[in-house]
């Protein structure tokens, strides 16, 4: 989402308050199948040249793009993940609009309106602009967790909206809505037939999580985080809903962060990373994106290899579907949505977009 939400604010606060830690390294466990290799440090990029963007008009919905705005511009721009091609879309976006892009950037949501990259309006979502839904891979379906009525104590519902179809209730009554909590949909995937909803108490730390079968609403698994060790924490999911990254403080308040990668359906532990808050996965699920107290990084969670890192406050990410390419935001300018955004490549190179861009990053 281009405008920073309250949830994003607490992510930055949580990461910024984390204690000093060494470079993230997988932690040995009793299982021989769990990765235990030591991370190899990678120098943070310095004095990276910024990408020069083109004013060529893009009139097709084909291809995979990152969408962005330059400071002071109402028009929307797009750039390929390797920064080899960029241009302007035939769409105007108000400066105060809330917007997010579908995984390939072929469609995007401006407030409640869904628009195609080449200009046509495709649909209007049934939810208010303050609701941030999750996109499916194909970019024609969105999922949101909303109360059946806008009041504390109402039953929470998982809803699914596909273009040119009425909104459908996938599941209902699995939680009670409170206006002081956050209820993000962490994953919504038709291919893997999964949807994951989380409850963040006061938007700060995960309290509960539900894994659903998207097609039927069947509840596959519930996770209760209220008894986790330490304080704070975070939980993220892969785009297909098959994996979770659960981050907690080890040893109580003020202890070091520890992230555990798990299978979403049964909770099986797949790997761990010390000193790191995982915020999301690459599109192929081989890498994780996140931060410690001083920098953001992209890490191969199986081997501990640090693919890329940069000093500064973590400020969101996007992942190209089925790929290791991720866009990572660093810093906030004057409390706005403008930031530095790197297009991180599998080889660790990272073209840097123009200064103070607005990108529909996830948190």
CA dist., res. 230 & res. 203, Å (int): 17
Q: What percent of the chain has pLDDT over 90?
A: 69
- Please compute the mean of the pLDDT values over residues 163-187 and round it to a whole number: 95
Render pLDDT for 238-281 as a digit per residue (tens, 0 to 9): 999 999 999 998 876 778 999 999 999 999 999 999 999 999 99
Query: What is the reported pLDDT for 317?
Result: 97
Q: What's the whole-number mean pLDDT along residues 53-73?
A: 91
pLDDT at 48: 82
Mean pLDDT of 103-132: 92
Mean pLDDT of 171-179: 95
Exposed (0-12), middle (13-18) or buried (19+): which is 312, by Cβ within 10 Å?
Answer: middle
Predicted confidence band of residue 15 (pLDDT cuts 50, 70, 90): very low
Domain boundaries, the chain: 6-140+233-359
Q: Mean of the pLDDT values across residues 141-157?
A: 96
Here the tokens at position 272 are 């761990």
Task: Categorize the per-residue pLDDT at 334 as very low, low, confident or very high, splitting at 50, 70 and 90.
Answer: low
Average pLDDT of the residues in 23-40? 36
Burial class, 234, CB count within 10 angstroms (exposed 0-12 / middle 13-18 / buried 19+)? buried
The pLDDT, as a whole number, for residue 7 is 30
Question: The dihedral of CA 306, 309, 313, 316: what is its sign?
Answer: negative
Q: How buried is residue 126: exposed, middle or buried, by Cβ count under 10 Å (0-12/13-18/19+)?
A: middle
Chain center to CA of 292: 17
């Amino acid at each position: 989402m281009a405008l920073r939400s309250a949830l994003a604010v607490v992510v930055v606060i949580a990461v910024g308050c984390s204690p000093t830690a060494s470079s993230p390294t997988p932690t040995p466990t009793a299982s021989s199948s769990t990765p235990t290799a030591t991370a190899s440090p990678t120098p943070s990029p310095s004095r990276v040249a910024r990408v020069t963007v083109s004013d060529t008009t893009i009139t097709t919905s084909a291809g995979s793009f990152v969408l962005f705005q330059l400071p002071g511009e109402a028009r929307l721009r797009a750039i390929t993940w390797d920064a080899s091609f960029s241009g302007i879309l035939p769409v105007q976006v108000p400066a105060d609009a809330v917007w997010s892009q579908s995984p390939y950037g072929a469609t995007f949501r401006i407030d409640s309106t869904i628009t195609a990259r080449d200009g046509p309006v495709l649909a209007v979502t049934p939810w208010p602009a303050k609701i941030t839904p999750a996109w499916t891979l194909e970019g024609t379906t969105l999922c949101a967790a909303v109360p059946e009525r806008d009041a504390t104590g109402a039953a929470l519902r998982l809803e699914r909206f596909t273009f040119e179809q009425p909104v459908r209730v996938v599941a209902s009554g699995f939680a009670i809505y409170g206006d002081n909590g956050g209820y993000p949909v962490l994953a919504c995937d038709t291919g893997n037939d999964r949807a994951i909803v989380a409850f963040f108490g006061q938007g700060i730390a995960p309290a509960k999580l539900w894994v659903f079968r998207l097609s039927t609403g069947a509840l596959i698994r519930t996770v209760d985080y209220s008894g986790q060790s330490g304080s704070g924490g975070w939980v993220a999911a892969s785009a297909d809903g098959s994996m979770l990254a659960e981050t907690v403080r080890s040893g109580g308040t003020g202890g070091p962060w520890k992230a555990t990668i798990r299978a979403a359906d049964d909770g099986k532990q797949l790997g761990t990373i010390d000193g790191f808050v995982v915020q999301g996965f690459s599109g192929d699920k081989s890498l994780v994106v996140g931060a410690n107290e001083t920098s953001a990084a992209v890490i191969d969670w199986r081997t501990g290899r640090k693919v890329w890192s940069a000093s500064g406050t973590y400020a969101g990410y996007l992942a190209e579907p089925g790929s290791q390419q991720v866009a990572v935001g660093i810093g906030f300018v004057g409390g706005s949505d403008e930031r530095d955004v790197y297009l991180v490549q599998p080889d660790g190179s990272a073209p840097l977009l123009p200064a103070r861009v607005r990108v529909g990053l996830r948190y």
